[in-house]
Structure 1
Amino acid sequence: MIRFEEVSVHYEGARAPALTGVDLTVPEGELALLVGPSGVGKSTLLGTVSGLVPHFTGGTLRGRVTVDGRDTRTHRPRELADVVGTVGQDPLAHFVTDVVEDELAYGMESLGLPPETMRRRVEETLDLLGLAELRDRPIASLSGGQMQRVAIGSVLTPHPRVLVLDEPTSALDPAAAEEVLAVLQRLVHDLGTTVLMAEHRLERVVHYADQLVLLPGPGERARSGDPAELMAVSPVRPPVVALGGLAGWTPLPLSVRDARRRASGLREQLADRQPETEHPALGKELARTDRLRVRRGRRTVLHELSLTVRAGETVALMGRNGAGKSTLLRTLVGGHEPAGGTVRVGGVEPHRTPPGELLRHAGLVPQEPRDLLYADTVAAECRAADRDAGAEPGSCRALTAELLPDIADDTHPRDLSEGQRLALALAIILTAAPPLILLDEPTRGLDYAAKSRLVTVLRGLAARGHAVVLATHDVELAAESAGRVLIMAQGELVADGPTAEVVVSSPAFAPQIAKILAPQRWLTMPQVRAALADDR
C-alpha cells in the first residue's frame, strides 16, 4: 500500500539530510510503527506519505513514495486526500471549523459525499472515539486530549485507506489512549486500513504493531521488520522491553501480559528487597488553594479544590482529559480568575499580579510551547530569556544544551520537532528559576533519552528548593520524577498521596514495571536495576 524507494529528504539550509535512503514497504491492512529518537526525521517520513513533504514544507525529495499506486511527487496533498488521512503532532493546526460535529463532517463535505452518508459516519465516529457528549462544543473549549480525539475523528470520517498519525496518543490519558488504539486495531483488522504511526510512548503502542520501522539516527538507514527483533537493537525502548533485556528474556516481551508470564522468577528474586525511595525535606509553602472554584463560560471547571505545594517537592497532577489539570495550572499563573475560594502563589494572588512580578514566584510551560517562542533562532530565544530573567549570559543556552544536545544556535524554532520545541520552552522558563515551576504535558514529543534528561533536571530543581508541579498523562514520568501524585476527576481532587501508594492501586495510572511486578511496589527500571546490581 505504501512504498518507499531510496527516499531521501534535504531541507534548504540544513547541514544534513532529514532522511537518508529509506527503502521499505508497508503492506495493506497493517499497522506499522515508526520508532526512533527525537529529531531523526519521523515527522518528515510521515509527511512524504501525505504529500506535505515536499509540496508544503519545501526541501528536496529524492527517490519515490507511492501510496496505493500514486506517486506523491506528482500528486499534491489535496489529490491524495481521498486515500490518505493525516493527523499531525499539533491538532490545533488541523482544525478548519469551530464546532466538533462540523469538524468531523468537513472532510466529507470537501469530497462531496451525500448528506445521509455524512450523517451516518459522523455518528459512528462520535461513538468510536467517545465524543458524543462533545458534539456541540466549541473546539476552543476542549482540553488538549479532547482536541486530539476530534482531530483523529475528522480524518476517520472520509474512510481513507491509509492513516498517517504523528504522536496520536501523546495528549491522551491512558484510558482515552486505549480507546483510540482499539479503534485503530478495528480499522486495521476489520476494514483493512493501513496505518503508519509515529509514537514516542512505545509502552502504549508497540504490542499493537505488525511491523516496526526503525530510524536509528542521523545518516543511518531505516530498517523494518518484526517488532520484537528490532526492539532488541532500538536506541529507544519502553520499560517492558528494557526489563526483558535486563532479565535476559528471549524473545523480548512487548506487552505487560507477556512479561508477567515470565516474571515469576524475577519477582522471587526481588521479594525480600524494597525499592529505593527518596524522602525530600520539604520547605516553605509556595502555593495554596482553598475551596477554589473556576468557571469557563457557563461551566464550572474546578470545584471546591484545596491543595498545598511546598518547596522541594515534585507533584504529578493526573486524571482524564478534561478533568481540569491545565485549568488549575493556568489559574496558578493568573490565567483564570477564581469564581470562589482563594488561590495564593508566593504570597500573592496570581490574577491580581503583573506577569513580570508573578514570574518571580511561578512559571508555566504550556502544552503549546510555541506560545513562548517568538525569535527566529534558538540563540536569539536564549539571549532574550537571559535578558528577561536577569540571568548571566549563556544561562538559557546551557540549559537548552542539557535538554537538547546537538541543536545548532542558528536553528529556527519552527524547524524543531514538537518535543524539541517543548524542551526549548522549558529552558526559557527554567532560566528565570521561579520557586514554583509548572509543566503541562512536558514529555509530549520526547523520546526516552530526552525524558531521562528531563527527569534529571527536575530532580535537580527539587533538590535546590524549587517545587515542580507537572500535569501529565505519562505514567512513567510520574513514577520516575514525582514523590506525590494528585488525581483529578471532573474538577475535583479524588486522590492525593505518595506516588507508590496512589499509582500502584490504580490500573489506569500504574507504570509498566508496577504492573509486571505487582503486588510488589517497584515502579521504575532504575529501582529494579539498582536492586539487581547487588547480586553482581
Structure 2
Amino acid sequence: MIRFEQVSVTYGDAAAPAVQGIDLTVPEGELCLLVGPSGVGKSTLLQAVSGLVPHFTGGTLRGRVTVDGRDTRTHPPRELADVVGTVGQDPLSHFVTDTVEDELAYGMESLGLAPDVMRRRVEETLDLLGLADLRERPLATLSGGQMQRVAIGSVLTTHPKVLVLDEPTSALDPAAAEEVLAVLQRLVHDLGTTVLLAEHRLERVVQYADQVILLPAPGAAPLMGDPAAIMAVSPVHPPVVALGRLAGWSPLPLSVRDARRKAGGLRERLTGATAQGHGGAGATAEAVAVSGSAPAVISGLGVRRGRVEALRRVDLTVAPGETLALMGRNGAGKSTLLTTLAGMHEPTSGTVRVGGRTPHRTKPRALLRHVGLVPQEPRDLLYADTVAAECTAADQDADAPAGTCRALVSRLLPDVADGMHPRDLSEGQRLALALAVVLTARPPLLLLDEPTRGLDYAAKARLVEVLRALAAEGHALVLATHDVELAAELADRVVILAEGEVVADGPTGEVVLSSPSFAPQVSKVLAPLPWLTVPQVARALEARP
C-alpha cells in the first residue's frame, strides 16, 4: 500500500538529510508503528506519505514514495485526499470550521459526498470516538485531548485507505487513548485500512502494532520487522520492555498481560524487599507549617469559562520542593487550574495566592518572579527567529547571566543548533525549548501542562533529571499530565480531578496503585507488590543477596 524507494529528504541549506536510505514497504491492512528518538525524521517520513513533503513543507525529495500506486511527487496532497487521511501533532492548526459536527463533515464536503452519506458517517464517528455530547461545541472551547479526537474523527469520516497519524494519543487521557486505539484496531481488522503512526508513548500502542519501523538516529537507515524483535534493539522502548530486559525475559513482552505471565519468578525475588523512591525527593505539604509559606495556596476555588463550570470547590496547597501531578480525564479542569495559578483567569469564587500575591491582579513581569507556566502549545512562548535568539531574550527577561537559557537547552536537547528556527523543531523539541525559556527565571512555582508531549524516553529522562534538581533546590512543581509513567517516576503527590473537582489527593503510590486507569505498567505487572518503575525494581534487585 505504501512504498518507499531509496527516499531521502533534505530541507533548505541543511548539512545533512532529515531522513535518508528509506527503502521499505508498508503492507495493506496493517498497523505499522514508526518509532525513534526525537528529531530523527519521523514527522518528515509521515508527511512524505501524505504529499506534504515536498509540496507544502518544501525541501528536496529524492527517491520515490507511492501510496496505492500514486506517486506523491506528481500528486499533491489534494489529489491524495481520498486515499490518505492525515492527523498531525497539532490538531488546532488543521481545523477549518467552528464546531465539532461541522469539522467532521468538512472533509466529506470537499470530496462531494451525498448529504445522506455525510449524515450517517458523522453519526458513526461521533459514537466511535465518544464525541456525541460535544457535537455542537465550538472547537475553541475543547480541551487538548478533545481536539485530538475531533481531528482523528474528521479524517475517519472520509474512509481513506491509509491513515497517517503523528502522536495520536499524546494529548489523551489513558481511557480516551484506549478508545482511539480500539477504533484504529477496528479499522485495520474489519475494513483493511492501512495505518502508519508515530508515537512516543509506546506503552500505549506497541502491543497493537503488526510491524515496527525504527529510525535509530538522524540520517540512519531504518529497521523494520516484528515488534518484539525491534524492541529488543530499539533505543526507545516502553517500561514493560525495559522490565523484560532487566529480568532477562525472551521473547520480550509487549503488553502487561504478556509480562504478568512471565513475572512469577521476579515477584518471588522481590517479595520482602522495600520499594524505594515513589517519585521525587521534595518536601511534603507538612513543610508549609514549618516554613510558614507556600508557593501556592488555593481555597474554595471556582472558575467558569463561558457556560462551563471548569473548576469548583478546589482546595489545594503546594509546598516548597513538592512535585505534584494533576491527573484526570480530558476536560477535567487540569489546564484551567494551571492557567488560573498563572493569573490568566479570574476566579468566580474562592481565592488563589501564589507567592503571597493574587495572580490575576499581578502584573505579568512581576508574576514571572513567582510562577512560570509551560503551556500545552509551546509556540505560544516562542517568537524569535532562532534558538539562540530565544535564549538571549529569555536571559534578558529574567535578568539571568548570559548563557543560562542556552545551558538548559543543551541539557534537554543536546543536538539542537543555535541557528535553527523554532518552527523547524519537532513538537518535543519546541516543548523542551519553551521549558528552558521558563526555567531561566527560576520561579519558585513551576507549572507544566503535558510536559512530555512529543518527548521520547531519553528526552523524558533528561527532563526528569532537571525537574528533580529544581525540586531539590526548593522549587514547587505542578504537572498536568496524562503520562502515568512520568507521575510514577517524578511525583511526590497525585491529585485527580473529575468534572472540575478534586476526587483524590495523596502520595503517588497510594493514589495510582488504587486506580487501574492511572497505574503505570510496572505496577500492573508486579501487583500486588508496590513497585511503580523499572529503576525501583533494579535498585531492589541490586540490594538483594
Identify the TM-score tier after normalising by the shorter chain.
over 0.9
For 1:323, the equivalent position in structure 2 comes to 332
Correspondent of 1:288 among 289, 292, 297? 297
| Matched residue, 1:192 | 192
From 442, 457, 466, the counterpart of 2:451? 442
TM-superposed CA distance for 1:406, in Å, is 1.2
Counterpart of 2:59, as a letter, is G
Partner of 2:147: 147
Does 2:512 match 1:510? no
Q: Could you tell me how far 1:223 is from its partner in structure 2?
A: 1.1
**Counterpart amino acid of residue 522 in structure 1:** W
Q: Which residue of 2 aligns with 1:46?
A: 46
Number of equivalent positions: 536
1:125 and 1:313 map into 2 onto residues whose CA distance is: 42
What is the alpha-carbon distance in structure 1 between the residues aligned to residue 195 and residue 166 of structure 2? 11
Q: Deviations over 1:58-99 (max 9, x none)?
A: 000111000000000000000000000000000111100010
Counterpart of 1:262 in structure 2 is: 262
**SS of residue in 2 equivalent to 1:432:** coil
1:534 Cα deviation from its structure 2 partner: 2.6
The equivalent position to 1:423 in structure 2, one of 423, 432, 454, is 432
Letter in 2 for 1:351: H
Mapping of residues 403-422 of structure 1, within 5 Å: 403-422=412-431
Letter in 1 for 2:392: R
- Are 1:486 and 2:488 matched, yes or no? no
Q: CA deviation at 1:7?
A: 0.5
Listed one character per residue, the Cα deviations across residues 141-175 of structure 1 (whole Å, up to 9, x for unaligned) are 00000000000000000000000000000000000
Residue 115 of structure 1 corresponds to 115
Equivalent-residue separation in structure 1 for 2:539 and 2:16 (angstroms) = 39
AA at the equivalent of 2:114: P
The secondary structure found in structure 2 opposite 1:140 is helix
- 2:488 counterpart letter in structure 1: A
Question: Residue 417 of structure 2 aligns to which amino acid in structure 1?
Answer: A
Letter in 2 for 1:41: G
1:466 aligns with 2:475: yes
Q: What is the rounded CA distance, in whole Å, between the counterparts of 2:158 and 2:422 in structure 1?
A: 33
Per the alignment, residue 500 of structure 1 pairs with: 509
1:279 deviates by: 5.1
CA distance in 2, matches of 1:280, 1:135: 43
SS at match of 1:326: helix
DSSP-derived class of the 2:295 partner = strand
1:339 maps to what in 2?
348
Q: Secondary structure at the match of 1:176?
A: helix
Match of 1:383 in 2: 392
* Residue identity opposite 2:327 in structure 1: M
Matched residues in 1 for 2:171 and 2:317: separation? 26
- Residue 171 (structure 2) aligns with: 171
- Aligned amino acid, residue 295 of structure 1: R
Q: How does 1:236-315 map to 2 (within 5 A)?
A: 236-277=236-277, 280-281=282-283, 282=287, 283=291, 284-315=293-324
The amino acid that maps onto 2:350 is G
Which of residues 455, 461, 469 in structure 2 aligns to 1:452?
461
Q: Report the CA distance between 1:371 and its aligned residue.
A: 0.1
Determine the structure 2 residue equivalent to 1:395.
404
Q: Which amino acid aligns with 2:146?
A: Q
Amino acid aligned to 1:335? M
- What residue is the counterpart of 2:74 in the other structure? 74
TM-score by length of 2: 0.98
Q: Distance in 1 between matches of 2:81 and 2:219?
A: 31
Cα distance in 2 for partners of 1:151, 1:299 equals 22
| Residue of structure 2 equivalent to 1:214 | 214
Could you say which residue in structure 2 is the equivalent of 1:37? 37
TM-score by length of 1: 0.99
C-alpha separation between the residues in 1 aligned to 2:309 and 2:36? 41
CA distance in structure 2 between the partners assigned to 1:262 and 1:379 by the alignment? 49
2:383 alignment partner in structure 1? 374
Take 1:411 and 1:274, find their aligned partners in 2: how far apart are those partners?
A: 47
Mapped to 1, the partners of 2:135 and 2:219 lie a distance apart of 46
- Root-mean-square deviation (Å): 0.8
SS of equivalent residue, structure 2 residue 318:
strand
Instruction: Specify the code of the residue in structure 1 equivalent to 2:32.
Output: A
In structure 2, list runs of 5 or more residues that go unmatched: none
Unmatched tracts of structure 1, length 5 or more = none
List aligned pairs for 1:128-143, cutoff 5 A: 128-143=128-143
TM superposition shift of 1:323: 0.1
Displacement after TM superposition at 1:219 (Å): 2.7
**Deviation string, structure 1 residues 1-59 (Cα, Å, up to 9, x no partner):** 00001100011121210001101111110000000000000000000000000000000
Instruction: Tell me how far 1:100 sits from its aligned partner.
Output: 0.4
| Distance of 2:387 and 2:282 partners within structure 1 | 34
Tell me the distance in 1 between the aligned counterparts of 2:320 and 2:357: 16
Residues 391, 405 of structure 2: 8 Å contact kept: yes
> C-alpha separation between the residues in 1 aligned to 2:85 and 2:376?
24
Cα deviation for residue 535 of structure 1 reads 4.3
Q: What's 2:85 paired with?
A: 85
The answer for the alignment partner of 1:19 in structure 2 is 19
Counterpart Cα distance in 2 of 1:219 and 1:287: 46
- Structure 2 distance, partners of 1:221, 1:532, is 37
Measured against aligned partners, the alpha-carbon deviations of 1:298-352 in whole angstroms (never above 9, x if no partner) come to 2211011111001110000000000000000000011110011111111111110
Q: Counterpart amino acid of 1:129?
A: L
1:533 Cα shift? 1.8
Matched letter for residue 135 of structure 2? R
Distance 2:96 2:441 in 1: 36
- Equivalent residue, structure 1, for 2:363: 354
- Partners of 1:390 and 1:310 in 2: CA distance: 26
Confirm or deny: 8 A CA contact 2:82 2:111 kept in the other structure: yes
Provide the C-alpha distance between the structure 2 equivalents of 1:279 and 1:105, rounded to a whole number of angstroms: 50
- How many Å apart are 1:276 and its aligned residue? 1.1
Q: Give the distance between the partners of 1:198 and 1:429, measured in 2 at CA.
A: 28
Structure 2 distance, partners of 1:415, 1:285, is: 39
Supply the distance in 2 between the matched residues of 1:459 and 1:253 (Cα, whole angstroms). Answer: 30
Return 256-265 or 268-277, whichever deviates more.
268-277
Choose 127-136 or 268-277, whichever is displaced more. Answer: 268-277
Letter in 2 for 1:392: P
Residue 521 of structure 2 is aligned to residue 521 of structure 1: no
User: Partners of 2:125 and 2:473 in 1: how far apart?
Assistant: 49
2: distance between equivalents of 1:498 and 1:39? 35
Whole-angstrom CA distance in 2 between matches of 1:250 and 1:49: 35
Between the aligned partners of 1:200 and 1:504, the Cα distance in structure 2 is: 24
Kindly provide the amino acid, as one letter, of the partner of residue 282 in structure 2: P
